[in-house]
Chain A
Amino acid sequence: DAGITQSPRHKVTETGTPVTLRCHQTENHRYMYWYRQDPGHGLRLIHYSYGVKDTDKGEVSDGYSVSRSKTEDFLLTLESATSSQTSVYFCAISRETHGYTFGSGTRLTVV
């Protein structure tokens, strides 16, 4: 997993509750990304970060916010979870010679 840890691995939450997913890296990479994966949609970019406190939106950013207060941590927050946010969430870092390296994913179920 090249030093990328996602937590939690699985989570079930109720509609309307806030949820924060954590991505932790140990290799001091500048760029980090959050994707969601759903059947029929492939992987879609939610947000990405290009440094501490520097973030930008991806293709499907509505309903999500991110924060990066330290190089090693990139947090994804669902302010008020909805059933449409039930998905598998992947964090990734990018490296020059091998593109993206992904974490193991977080399976989120909103009931």
Chain B
Amino acid sequence: LAKTTQPISMDSYEGQEVNITCSHNNIATNDYITWYQQFPSQGPRFIIQGYKTKVTNEVASLFIPADRKSSTLSLPRVSLSDTAVYYCLVGFRIWNSNSGYALNFGKGTSLLVTP
């Protein structure tokens, strides 16, 4: 499984845009990049997934450069409820399946949002 590196922690004020960058230098051709959010005492929750360029949904944007060796999760105008741990994952499709992945979560980035 590809190894990912992301900052251990970040701080932000409410209303600011937060960008969390993840490096994955040994990403393979078939690997997708996925970000998850985890609150205390809960399992991680899917935020966004991409393969290349830019992906945007109602929660966040994901920027992936052409070499795919890094990715940046962008959270617009964060609120206190965005305080959580954010994981960057790189994984492969199992047996060319459309739904199977074996993902290495790593340690994540602990984001603290304050008023």
The interface on chain A, measured as residues whose beta carbon lies within 8 A of the other chain's beta carbons, has a size of: 29
| A13-21, A67-75, A77-85, A102-110: which lies at the interface | A102-110
A interface residues, Cβ below 8 angstroms from B? 29-31, 33, 35, 40-45, 48, 50, 56, 58-59, 90, 92, 94-96, 98-105
List chain A residues, Cβ under 8 A from B87. Answer: 42-43
| Contact of A50 with B103 in the complex, beta carbons under 8 Å | no
Residues of B within 8 A of A90 (CB): 43-44
Selected interface stretch from B12-20, B60-68, B104-112:
B104-112
Which of B43, B98, B104, B107 meets A59, CB within 8 Å?
A: B104
- CB distance B104 to A100 under 8 Å? no
Residues of A within 8 A of B105 (CB): 35, 42-45
Query: For chain A, what secondary structure do more than half of its interface residues adopt (helix, strand, loop), or is it mixed?
Result: strand
Chain B residue with Cβ nearest A6: B43
The residues of B that contact A92 with a CB separation of less than 8 Å are: 43
List of B residues within 8 angstroms of A42 by Cβ: 87, 105-108
Contacts of B45 in A (CB 8 A): 102
B34 interface residue (CB < 8 Å to A): yes
Q: Is the CB of B97 within 8 A of A99?
A: no
Given A31-B100, A35-B105, A99-B36, A104 and B49 contact (CB-CB distance below 8 Å): no
